Amino acid sequence: MSLTDTTHGNMVSKTTLADISPPSSPPQTDELKKTARNKYEEKHRSSRILPALPTPPTSPPPKVSKSMSEDKALAEDETKPNFSQLKTKLGIGNWKCGCTTLGGGPCRNRIPSPKKADINTQIWSLENPSHSSQKLRDELYKLAELVHCRLHNNRAQMCSRVDNWRNAFPLEESIEEQIERTLRYYPARCVGVVEEGIPCQEKIGGRCVQNRAKTINKVLIPDIYLNDDNLGYFLRVLKENMFCHQHIDNQGHEKVAIWKKEIQKIRKERDPALLAPQSASLLPDRDPATYWPQEFDTTPFDIIATSDKSNRFKSSSLEIKKKLAEPLKPKNQEEGYLYAYEVEGNAGFVKIGYTRRTLEERLEEWAFDCNRKPKALYPIRSSLRVAVPNAHRVEALCHTELKNRNIKVDCHGCLKPHIEWFQVSPEEAIAVIQKWSMWMLTSPYKPESHETSAALILKDQEREKVKCINQFMKELSDMVVDRHSSEK
């Protein structure tokens, strides 16, 4: 995944000292060549913009050999003082997530051991002297993906973490990066404030979030930010995609003026000549509110994780057996409606979930938040909608059965990862939902025997059936087939 999409910027980086080529007329003898090369490498190291390690690698660090134990590889990294200091400065020296929580403190969830070697390798990559400012941000984002726990793995939180990490590296920002930082706003909510400076919590919707990103990319074009008329127009476009209806009029105009003033200040500080318009006007002949078309996103998913292909068709019977035997807690005993849908541009992927509200409400909410138009696969007709008891458990059983074909999608609308998508045919997804829904309607669970518990447990006869899990699964599948045959 590229951070350019995340931060909405197409940065134009300056050439660093590390990009300077060697002398064009090298000495002719081997000894002189060696002396010149040593002098050049010494000069090269001293001109680095990023802080150098005491014994920096001359090339990107090799990946840990399979023959070398992970503990030994980690120990070797930790013996390098500046490497350890950089980890501490980045807030991951204690091998914990470190993302800022709602309470304001760092997250204390531990980083899994299998990720530690990859994290060390990624930190080594930050030492590359040829990195541009944008390339550095890209590498820092990859580090955030490795470090953040599942509670803090959404795009907004990782981008915010990258902003904090970026300050640890004295690499000069380009003018585009400075402008992008002025306009940057990660939440998928209104940029306005309510009383006493409290941020507005109103959602602006995935379409506005995506248009916001596209508009910022427009502003970063020199022909836009160097011309006050062009700049003013696209800042008004930005306003239309950053405020809710309550704040767009009374706070939007003021915000546009602030943005414009800040960008003019950046231009002046970088080069006084940039204060005056430097390019021709490119003003469109339409209202800023209608600059971007009102259309749903149909681009392919940004898939950030998939199930192991070697396990794609591996049986999940044992995991299903374990899930069936888990006691049902009171919070998971509510009725709900199972559903499945797909979206345009992503054939072969199906989302399976449940809701306690009407299906229309849930699908409309998803379309607004993610700017994807859902096409219902199940149930297709309202007459087929049946409230299923213990709907959360039914959903969990569906997900467990299809776990080996699960994908994780990075949503560019709501800016959160989606984990309930599966690479299956609509027919297979529907069959799985029907199978577990029909089984749950047979009331397979009973209250626990002792009065102090409100949990439900599997009935004795069901527990006996589950012992032969493969036969049990075949009987459930046959039940769905028999039902379809009787309906024809």
Domain ranges of the chain: 1-55+72-172, 186-295, 303-487
End-to-end Cα, the chain, rounded Å: 47
* Residue 61 clears pLDDT 60, i.e. is over it: no
Question: What order do you get walking across the sheet with 337-343 strand by strand?
Answer: 303-306, 406-410, 417-422, 350-355, 337-343, 374-378
pTM of the predicted model, to two decimals?
0.75
Over residues 226-267, the pLDDT tens digits come to 999 999 999 999 999 999 999 999 899 999 999 999 999 999
Greater confidence (374 vs 55) lies with: 374
Query: How high is the pLDDT of residue 280?
Result: 62
Distance CA 362, CA 359 (A): 5
Q: Average pLDDT of the chain?
A: 82
pLDDT for 43 equals: 42
Containing 182, the helix (H) or strand (E) segment is helix 175-183
Portion of the chain with pLDDT greater than 70, in percent: 78
Give me the residue label for tokens 């045959």: 485
The 8-class DSSP code of residue 24 comes to S
Q: Does residue 451 carry a pLDDT above 90?
A: no
Our separate counts of H helices and E strands in the chain read 18, 8
pLDDT tops 90 at residue 91: no
Q: Cβ(249)–Cβ(45) under 8 Å?
A: no
* Residue 277 pLDDT: 55
Residue 196 is given by DSSP the state G
The mean pLDDT of 56-74, rounded to a whole number, is: 46
How confident is the model over 258-280, as a mean pLDDT? 80
Average pLDDT over residues 443-452: 84
Residues 29 and 37: their CA atoms lie apart, in Å, by: 12
Looking up tokens 């795009």 gives 155
Q: What is the mean pLDDT of residues 29-55?
A: 40
